[in-house]
Amino acid sequence: MASFEYRHDAVVRAPREDAFAWWTDFAPDDHAGDRTLHGTRSGMRRDGDSWTWTDEYAAMGFRTRWRWRVVLHPPQWEEFHGETKLGRLDGIITFQETAGSTRVQEVGTFTAKGLGRLLGRVLRKALTRLLREDFKEHWEQFHAERDSRSA
Q: What pLDDT does 32 receive?
A: 52
CA distance 37 to 150: 28
The architecture that CATH gives domain 3-150 is: 2-Layer Sandwich (3.30)
pLDDT one-digit tens code per residue, 13-68: 999 999 999 999 887 665 455 667 777 889 999 999 999 999 998 776 778 899 99
pTM, two decimals, is 0.88
Per residue, what are the HEC states of 12-62? ECCCHHHHHHHHCCCCCCCCCCCCCCEEEEEEEEEECCEEEEEEEEEECCE
Beta bridge partners of 81: 69, 90
Q: What residues does each domain of the chain span? A: 3-150
